[in-house]
């Protein structure tokens, strides 16, 4: 980890980011517009390479609205065959680089029947149904506790800031619980019914491992889902990755303006 951190510091002229952002499927444009330094994951020691289409796979450093930001343009997923430890490694690296606040974004399917494609949902809490946990294994006490509390993974004050920013911009933002499955298969109608009954509002295949590790190592987490589809519709239409990318792309202007407004509002 120290090797990775030293490499990044050298490549970025000792840029010290205060905010980290993970940009989900179809939401990576922010890192194209704001980019002072970019390093491809393939060039970073110990980073794993993204295998999903629609994910660029680079770490982008930029000064945005007066805030020092590091963005992951594309993330790695459990369903790609990477270990939980591998997919959450960048979170620990961000922590060591100086990040205090982490904004996690993703594309997700709507479980809550009042949600529509291209809605944005502020994550209030999560349910980990991935069948694993990124903290399994020997604990590094310098990072966090063996049995970390998870009672407020998504910080209330950050949720309030995000809601206020959405209101100021006239964006009708939803709030809800993000349910994480391992994927890569989308859910069956029976699974969506179960998720709804058990309290999930949106479903996806990412974010939760990163949120757990971020909370564990003391980062303040904000999560925003871009609703891209009605999860496992029972109307006979089929769901594809292309549809997910297209819907995320339709929401990207709204999404981008919300993130920029949040960056402006954050007092660190
Ligand atoms: N299910 C799981 N993950 C997703 C979905 C979905 O419907 N849409 C985007 N990511």
Q: Is 33 helix (H, G, I), strand (E, B) or coil?
A: helix
Q: What was the pLDDT predicted at 21?
A: 97
Please state the length of the chain: 268
Q: Name the least confident of 135-139, 222-226, 230-234.
A: 230-234
Query: Which residues constitute the domain of residue 200?
Result: 2-265
82 is an active site residue: no
| Residue 201, ligand 1, Cβ within 6 A | no
Does ligand 1 have an atom closer than 6 angstroms to the CB of 108? yes
- Name the residue at shortest CA distance from atom 7 of ligand 1: 109
Q: Is 197 an annotated catalytic residue?
A: no
Least confident range of 231-235, 241-245, 255-259: 231-235
- Higher pLDDT residue, 100 or 253? 100
- 252-265 and 241-250 helices cross at what angle (nearest 10)? 60
Q: What pLDDT, on the 0 to 100 scale, is given for residue 69? A: 98
Distance CA 247, CA 108 (A): 10
Per-residue burial over 104-120, b if 16 or more Cβ lie within 10 Å, else e, is bbbbbbbbbeebebbbb
Ligand 1 neighbour 187 (Cβ under 6 A): yes
pLDDT class for 39, splitting at 50, 70, 90?
very high
Looking from the CA of 17 toward its CB, the CA atoms found within 13 Å total 32
Q: What is the mean pLDDT of the chain?
A: 93
User: Ligand 1 within 6 A of 25 CB?
Assistant: no
Which residues contact residue 179 at a Cβ distance below 8 angstroms, ignoring those fewer than 6 apart?
111, 126, 127, 129, 195, 198, 200, 201, 202, 203, 204
* Residue having the nearest C-alpha atom to atom 3 of ligand 1: 204
- Burial class from Cβ neighbours inside 10 Å (0-12, 13-18, 19+) for residue 20 reads buried
**Domains in the chain, number:** 1
Reported as a single tens digit per residue, the pLDDT across 153-197 is: 999 999 999 999 999 999 999 999 999 999 999 999 999 999 999
Q: Which CATH number does the domain housing residue 221 bear?
A: 3.40.50.1580
Verdict on whether the full-model pTM lies above 0.75: yes
Query: Are the C-beta atoms of residues 163 and 262 closer than 8 Å to each other?
Result: no
């Amino acid at each position: 980890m120290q090797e990775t951190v030293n490499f990044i510091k050298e490549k970025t002229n000792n840029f010290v980011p205060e905010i980290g952002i993970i940009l989900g499927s179809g939401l990576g444009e922010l890192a194209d517009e704001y980019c002072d330094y970019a390093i491809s994951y393939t060039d970073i020691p110990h980073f794993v390479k993204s295998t999903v289409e629609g994910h660029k796979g680079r770490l982008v450093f930029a000064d945005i609205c007066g805030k020092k930001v590091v963005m992951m343009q594309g993330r790695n997923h459990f369903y790609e065959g990477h270990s939980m430890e591998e997919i959450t490694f960048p979170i620990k690296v961000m922590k060591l680089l100086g990040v205090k606040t982490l904004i996690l974004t993703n594309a997700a399917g709507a479980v809550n029947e009042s949600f529509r494609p291209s809605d944005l949902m502020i994550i209030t809490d999560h349910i980990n149904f991935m069948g694993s946990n990124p903290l399994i294994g020997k604990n590094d006490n310098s990072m966090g506790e063996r049995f970390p509390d998870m009672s407020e993974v998504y910080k209330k004050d950050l949720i309030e800031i995000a809601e206020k920013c959405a209101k100021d911009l006239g964006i009708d933002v939803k709030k809800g619980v993000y349910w994480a499955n391992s994927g890569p298969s989308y859910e069956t109608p029976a699974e969506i019914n179960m998720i709804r009954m058990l309290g999930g509002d949106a479903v996806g295949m990412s974010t939760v491992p990163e949120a757990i590790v971020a909370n564990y190592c003391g980062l303040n987490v904000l999560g925003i889902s871009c609703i891209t589809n009605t999860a496992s519709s029972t109307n006979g239409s089929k769901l594809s990755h292309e549809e997910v990318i297209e819907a995320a792309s339709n929401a990207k202007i709204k999404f981008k303006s919300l993130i920029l407004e949040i960056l402006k509002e954050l007092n660190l």
